[in-house]
Structure 1
Amino acid sequence: MNLNQLNIYFYVRPSSIKGKRGTFYTRVVINNQQIVCSVKSLRIHKDQFDHKRGAPKSNCELYHECNDFMLNIRKELYKIHHNYENNKMTFTKDCLVKAVEDVYYRIKYGHQARSKTYLEFYDTWLADQRKRVGSEISMGTYDVRMRYRKVIALALEQASLLSKPICNFCDKDVLNVQNLLRRKIAMGTAMRIFPVFSMVFNYALQLKEVADNPCKLLPKIRRQQRAKPIFLEPAEVQRITNLNLTGQAKRYRDAFIFCCFTGLSIGDYELLNPAKAEYLIKKAESPRDIQPGRLVQLGSGYVIQGKRRKTGTEYRVPLLPEAEMIIDEYGGIDKLPYVIAKSGHFLQLICSMANIDKKIKFHTARKTMANYCINEKMMNPYYVTAVLGWSDIKEADDYVTVTSETLKKQLA
């Protein structure tokens, strides 16, 4: 049984002016929805058209033109109908309007009004996203979505979907792209890209260029098992601290160790620099309330308090003795080593010097602080969330390690 019941009717609507020719009309009905289109280039008298047969009479002045048009529109609409049936898609009124308009355009001008491809819509969507920077999204989010375009373009090319109009995408096409993303790139990256891939279809849906979002029927990309975060154990942090370094290597090491004992991300660490804080906040163009960290005295100690550059969530980090020593060594928090571009290479060399066989980056410092709070200090996850500025307490789940030693600490 067909999903879509298609019926096509033709008739002539007489002119209100006596003696003037009427306009030729097509009425298309599908799934009890109808659309009526006029063909203003075909004007005939009402008595020259047989409405019972839905065809021009032999005395019609435009007999051949009418028959040719009727044949073409039936052929084209049945072809579209057949395509929808094969892909098990249901016609909507928006689909019907677009299909009829495309057929009219093709018959009138000899070629089809070309529908935009997925990447053309992606570019239009990106232009719309750029207008929302600062009010709804940050510049960082926009930059990430720009980079995702290249990855999606490669997946579409391998799936032979680059030139396919976005309105003709079906769930099989989308599944093909999803599988390519799973196989070709890291699982975490694929999990972040596919929702963006779906956003473009939602944007096209708002503009009524597609009937539905084919992504919504597919399951989300999920890891079979979440990878454990990479962090440094306290003994490994101590080995790096004890290294006798000079020059740029020492500055990278000290910045990294400072963040190991404060849990600051690289973005929030850079905001501690008063000389650049205002510039970095302006550059972020974020709709969130970002506040650079500042030292606040609390009793005999200090707390670094601010709002995160990435999420705008508040963090409050009690200043540990190790972090305080680094501040004293440099002569104040505003004089810490903030020039830390391309730190990954230096940090990997420092790890090798300390005989640590782990692939780390600057963000490993934040994960190291999370491990220290949860597994070494056995802090309540709610307190850890306040210290690190996590937006969701579930982020603590990845760090919890139940060992005999941790159980002994709890029972002591």
Structure 2
Amino acid sequence: MEYLKVKFITNPSRINKKGLTPLELQLTFDKKRISIRTGKFINPKKWNCERQKVSGDNDINDFMDALRSKVFGIETNFLKLDIDYNLDMIKDKLNESSNTHTILSLLNMFDNILCERVSDKVITESTYLKYRQNDKHFRSFLRDKIYSNVDYINGNLINSYYEYLLKSCSINSAISIVNKLKVVCEYGKSIGWIKNDPFFFINFKKEKKETIKYLTEEQLNKICNLNILDKEMGEIRDIFLFCCFTSLSYIDCKQFEKRHICLGLKGNFIVKNRQKTGTEQKIPLMEVAENILKKYDYHLPVPSIQKYNLKLKELADLTGIDFLLHSHVARHTCATLLLNHNISIEGVSKILGHSTTTMSYHYAKMLDETIYDQVLNNFNINFNVV
């Protein structure tokens, strides 16, 4: 009679950003073989396949011993009951009896999957950090409940988590963070850990966004002509203006190098893929922007985003601008400036690096005087009203 063979295996070709590889349970029986994810990741350099041990990691070794015993226990029960079993039946019983499907296990497994995708360049580092933000908040919210079974995640828990987030986040930020948890739960469903969708009756509504903030040409001139003695503030002003005249986001400005400048038929262009989307931006380099680059020998002294936004707040105070300046205002300003100077929506879309013109309409907020001039120029018809 053939008996079940149990073995743990790794896949050296699937190493994540942390240098770890997934540990899988391999079952062989009746000339068939299946592999089951354990949710554990190990250092492949410390793995001894022959001894079925991880050097220096007693927790993983104990886990493997316990899981191996559980599998053989399931087989023994089938034999006692004289049941003709197969690998799928053992797998189902293993899933039923498994106590390893904790919230902590799910979060750790999902994090390792994301690390793999960053390494494979399927997702960006910035996307990964957004999921890490949810992970951090959710762990803090759960505390010791993180060791509970994944079934503990239900609609009531999600609503409580949302209320918890509102203590430190805006409504829209809280919803964005909760939506990251939704992706984690969808992954849990896809691997069979979560049976019922905990988000089925959840429907959070985001607040409508405020009107896009941008600088008028008068406000832009104020910043350009501002006499600044402080060196650091002067650098922040120049970087902000450079973004206003190129539409580059903070991160794209920070990554900018001289090699991104290309010679066109009528002048220089900045040609660079956006960090956020990977879409190409092709930006005509205005004289004012090029002068700023020359001032810093084409290497802009871009600080951290925290310091940048803090200094922009001071810059707004110095120029009497009555709304908060931040990195996005520069991009909005550039888009509006281009539209107000009769650059087509298609042209603006190319400069901003949008994949469709629909996205560019988000920025299409023209000044009142521009709208007024366009109406007069296009509808200069005389009517006599009696």
Q: Is the alpha carbon distance of 1:254 and 1:162 closer, same or farther for their aligned partners in structure 2, counting shifts above 3 Å?
A: same
Aligned partner of 1:225 among 187, 208, 231: 208
Which whole-Å deviations, capped at 9, do the CAs of 1:379-400 have from their partners, x for residues lacking one?
A: 4333211111124534334434
Q: Which amino acid aligns with 2:123?
A: I
The corresponding residue for 2:334 is 369
The corresponding residue for 1:40 is 77
Taking structure 1 as the reference length, what is the TM-score of the superposition?
A: 0.62
Aligned partner of 2:106 among 111, 121, 124: 121
Q: Is the alpha carbon distance of 1:137 and 1:406 closer, same or farther for their aligned partners in structure 2, counting shifts above 3 Å?
A: same
Whether contact under 8 Å (2:336, 2:365) holds in the other structure is no
Q: Is the alpha carbon distance of 1:252 and 1:368 closer, same or farther for their aligned partners in structure 2, counting shifts above 3 Å?
A: same
Which whole-Å deviations, capped at 9, do the CAs of 1:281-323 have from their partners, x for residues lacking one?
A: xxxxxxxxxxx63232332x32211211221101111122321
Q: Secondary structure of 1:306's match?
A: strand
Q: Secondary structure of 1:214's match?
A: coil
CA RMSD of aligned residues (A): 3.3
The gaps in structure 1 that reach 5 residues or longer are 1-36, 46-92, 103-112, 275-291
Which whole-Å deviations, capped at 9, do the CAs of 1:57-105 have from their partners, x for residues lacking one?
A: xxxxxxxxxxxxxxxxxxxxxxxxxxxxxxxxxxxx99x9469943xxx
The gaps in structure 2 that reach 5 residues or longer are 1-73, 83-87, 378-386
Q: Secondary structure of 1:304's match?
A: strand
C-alpha deviation, 1:338, in angstroms: 4.1
Listed as ranges, the matches of 1:78-117 within 5 Å are 97=92, 101-102=96-97, 114-117=99-102
Q: Distance in 1 between matches of 2:367 and 2:232?
A: 39
C-alpha deviation, 1:122, in angstroms: 0.9
Which whole-Å deviations, capped at 9, do the CAs of 1:220-265 have from their partners, x for residues lacking one?
A: x432422223322221111111111232221111111111111111
Q: Is the alpha carbon distance of 1:100 and 1:192 closer, same or farther for their aligned partners in structure 2, counting shifts above 3 Å?
A: closer
Q: Is the alpha carbon distance of 1:227 and 1:218 closer, same or farther for their aligned partners in structure 2, counting shifts above 3 Å?
A: same
Listed as ranges, the matches of 1:168-187 within 5 Å are 168-181=152-165, 184-187=168-171
Aligned partner of 1:307 among 261, 273, 280: 273
How many residues are treated as equivalent by the alignment? 294
2:369 is the alignment partner of 1:408: no
C-alpha deviation, 1:364, in angstroms: 2.2
Listed as ranges, the matches of 1:155-194 within 5 Å are 155-156=141-142, 162-181=146-165, 184-194=168-178
2:305 is the alignment partner of 1:352: no
Aligned partner of 1:265 among 237, 246, 249: 249
Whether contact under 8 Å (2:335, 2:364) holds in the other structure is no
The corresponding residue for 2:220 is 237
C-alpha deviation, 1:166, in angstroms: 0.8
Whether contact under 8 Å (1:156, 1:162) holds in the other structure is yes
Q: Distance in 1 between matches of 2:254 and 2:281?
A: 15
Q: Distance in 2 between matches of 1:177 and 1:389?
A: 36
Aligned partner of 1:388 among 336, 352, 360: 352
Q: Distance in 2 between matches of 1:120 and 1:348?
A: 42
Q: Distance in 1 between matches of 2:302 and 2:368?
A: 40
Report sequence identity in percent. Answer: 23
Aligned partner of 2:289 among 323, 338, 341: 323
The corresponding residue for 1:399 is 363
Q: Distance in 2 between matches of 1:295 and 1:162?
A: 52
The corresponding residue for 1:296 is 263
Q: Distance in 2 between matches of 1:324 and 1:181?
A: 44
Q: Is the alpha carbon distance of 1:256 and 1:43 closer, same or farther for their aligned partners in structure 2, counting shifts above 3 Å?
A: closer
